[in-house]
Structure 1
Amino acid sequence: MAVTQKTDGNRIRVGVVGVGRGMSFANGAPFVGMELVALCDTWEAKLHEAGKKLDVTTYTDYEQFLSHDMDAVVLANYFHQHAPFAVKALETGLNVMTETMACGTPAEGVALARAVDKSGKIFLFAENYPYFAYNQEMRRLYQNNEVGELQYAEGEYNHPFDSQGYNRLSPGLNHWRNWIPSTYYCSHALAPIMFITDTHPVNVNALSIPRSESDTEKLSVQRGDPGGIILCRMDNGSVVRIMGLKMRGHGVWYRIHGTRGLMENLRSGTPGSLRVQHEPWDLREGDEGEKIYVPDFSHHAEEARQAGHGGGDFFTNYHFAEAIRKNETPYFDVYRGLEMAMVGIQAWRSCLGNGTPFEIPDFRRESVRKAYENDNWSPWPEHEGPGQPPPSINGFNPPSEDAIAYAREVWDEMGYEGE
């Protein structure tokens, strides 16, 4: 099946897969000159509601959706299922923007890299956290040598939930959030550091933090561990520490140590504050030893302030549209997306080996692709079989009967009719 590109000047017709998270992309499309023309999801009630609200064609079948007259697709389906959907869209001749993560297995990553190369189409990995105002400001400062070269950094994305909240977020015993290992959702913590410093991860080792019997929140059906710590060796020799994912104490935080200074967003005080600090011997004329301020967006500030995820949801749409119009590879291309996915996957291998280091493969190179093209290692339930890893360092952690009963109560209230 092939679709002829119909982009008329600046007009880009786009379809969105997923009417949960995908609604942010759908609602934001007009702000960057894209026209929403189709939606696709298997949850029919929510799909029809969204289609009626936005007055667009709806599909429950992905193949039929791909035949719609459009130029691009946004994939906001389940976390680990993007790559096969992306490959089909690229083979159809469509530009693709995909939510995190870029691939669910190494083999899927190889297939995606090959499909992007073969298609010649735009692929953008929709990682939104780099586009917070303070992260964009840190990139500007880093590019201007404000703190020198990266030596060490920390990235933290920690988002705890109570049992009710987690069950609402993950309807179904086999929902991906109920099986995700503690290292897989790493891109919100890692991507801003890669963006600020233009570095790439080349090696990881990691440790997972298991659930405690004293934890009072016992009525979700999640099987994975609540936390993980990843150490990444970057291509310039620096070290990046990644922390997440569901420990007590919500936090989104980034800290950059360079050869002539430090910068970080503040954990407390005025939201969005940035701190830049220099030692006395590194001060240049006009420098301050410490400066704390709240940066704004350098462009499209009004649109960004109206968007979700600190403006990031606007900028992912914006950069996708710009890449299509200019036919230019976006910053968060397929390879940066795959690097982050492989950090999560290889870090989980490390956790199960009590911290053994693993390489981050460079899927730009066909020789490396060959080594991983049959690597289907996966914790996801649909891939269950001999040799597949558990979602926790303590094994498969089947949920209790009480937890299942409570989860079903929550799902019934939501109108969810699945397993």
Structure 2
Amino acid sequence: MALKVGIAGTRRGLVYIGCFDAIKNVRVTSICSKNEEKLKEIAKKIKGKKFFTDYEEFLKSDIDIVVVAVPLPLHAEFSIRALEKGKHVLCEVPPVNSIDEGRKLYATVKKTKKKYMLAQNTCWWAHIKAWEKIIKQGKIGKIFYAEAEYIHNIKSLLDEEMKTKNIWRTVMPPIHYCTHSLGPLLMMMDDRCILAQGFQTEEKYDVSGVKNPASRMEIGIFKTEKGAVIKILCGFGAIREPGFHYYSIYGTNGCLETNRIGEEKTFAYFGNIPNLKEMITIPLKSGYTGIEVSGTHGGTEYFLVREFIDCIVNDTEPPINVKKALEFGLPGICAHLSAMKNGGVIEIPQFD
């Protein structure tokens, strides 16, 4: 019997249609959005789907899986409602918008025993997967420091929000969106953050008519359970093109790093290579070639969807289950709480 998938949200959500439909015995049957005009446009292009404007009616339909791809402030609520209706959930990032939402989401997953997975696509980037193997093989030794940056000028998105009055990006603390950066690092390091400290710029987004726009940049500094230090910078108001993701990891016997500008590259240094005086360039990029479904973000959505389906079929734990999802997301929330208290150290809640 085929697994039936419903997608809530028609911006990022539509990316997943081809990913699910490419897997045997899985198909997208329903799409939900409160924007009726948008649904009519989609219905002209995508045939054979049911369309809903009411989320509750959507959840009552014949679906087994819900993809939560609605605006961030609704991620936790929509995930919890779907789980309570007996649906498995694949949720876009970040998983929650507050510590309290995190507690409720965790409790709901445990109570319903349904599969919940965070769709943190950067964890499936080709160079991240390669780094993960390098680290597991011990080639750079014990990791003691890592950092990542996500810089993206979202002025066009902010302008779009002002037209629709759905201004969640305009007021979202940048470090709340840390999962693209922090998630892959924690996955590769097999670690979690226990303490958070944060600072934000005094310079805010330049938008009129918004009472409290977010800072242009925000930084989080984290101490991990294994004793490493991680620094994350998120900036969505930087006047800089193109946007980029940057990662670097330092171990006791070497390091790994990406570049911030120019053609995408990976660099490495290994201390066990005699007389090595400069970084080695490794021909690794984030995207994949020759895959069945290209999608976005280098085709990563196809791989994470395939693993999610395997977990449902085989009744195994998703690679980014609710525990890991909160380990990826709550540090950013705590870093912002720290920033609001002039950088005081915040203990990050743990879920075991």
2:309 matched to 1:334?
no
- Asked if structure 1 preserves the Cα contact closer than 8 Å seen for 2:9 and 2:68, the reply is yes
| Contact 1:73/1:95, CA 8 A, preserved across alignment | yes
Q: Offset of 1:262 from its aligned partner?
A: 0.4
Amino acid at match of 2:103: V
Matched to 1:23, the amino acid is L
Structure number with bigger Rg: 1
Residue among 9, 13, 17 paired with 2:4: 13
Q: Tell me the residue number matched to 1:313.
A: 301
Aligned to 1:78: 71
Change (3 A) 1:329 1:67: same
Task: Report the alpha carbon displacement of residue 264 of structure 1 after superposing the two structures with TM.
Answer: 1.1
Structure 1 residue 296: deviation in Å?
6.5
User: What stretches of structure 1 of length at least 5 have no aligned partner?
Assistant: 1-7, 365-419
Alignment partner of 1:292 is 2:281: yes
Q: Which residue pairs with 2:338 in the alignment? A: 350
> Residue 26 of structure 1 aligns to a residue in which SS?
helix
Question: Displacement, 1:39?
Answer: 0.5
1:183-194 counterparts in 2 under 5 A?
183-194=175-186
Gapped runs of 5+ residues in structure 2?
none
- Superposed CA RMSD in Å reads 2.4
Give yes or no for the alignment of 1:110 onto 2:71: no
Does residue 360 of the first structure (1) align with residue 345 of the second (2)? no
Using a 3 Å threshold, how does the CA distance of structure 1 residues 290 and 178 change in structure 2: closer, same or farther?
closer
Please say if residues 139 and 270 of structure 2, whose CA atoms lie closer than 8 Å, have aligned partners that are also in contact.
no
Q: Give the letter for the 2:284 counterpart.
A: P
Q: Does 1:124 align with 2:114?
A: no
Matched residue of 2:71: which SS?
Answer: coil
Tell me the CA shift for residue 288 of structure 1: 9.4
Instruction: Please say if residues 167 and 220 of structure 1, whose CA atoms lie closer than 8 Å, have aligned partners that are also in contact.
Output: no
The answer (yes or no) to whether the contact 2:22–2:293 under 8 Å persists in 1 is no
Residues 275-325 of structure 1: CA distance to partner in whole angstroms, max 9, x if unpaired? 11124xx3379x996421223789x85227722012222222222212112
- The range that moved more, 169-178 or 109-118, is 169-178
**2:251 match:** 258
Alpha-carbon distance in 1 for matches of 2:257, 2:94: 25
SS at match of 1:77: coil
Asked if the contact 1:12–1:71 (Cα under 8 Å) also holds between the matched residues in 2, the reply is: yes
Cα deviation, residue 228, structure 1:
0.6
Note the C-alpha offset of 1:112.
0.8
TM-score, structure 2 normalization: 0.91
Is contact 1:304-1:315 (8 Å) kept? no
**Aligned mates of 1:297, 1:267 — CA distance in 2:** 13
Deviation at 1:218, TM superposition (A): 5.2
1:236 — aligned with what?
226
Q: SS at 2:303's partner residue?
A: helix
State the partner residue of 1:54: 46
Matched residue type, 1:295:
L
Cα deviation for residue 190 of structure 1 reads: 0.6
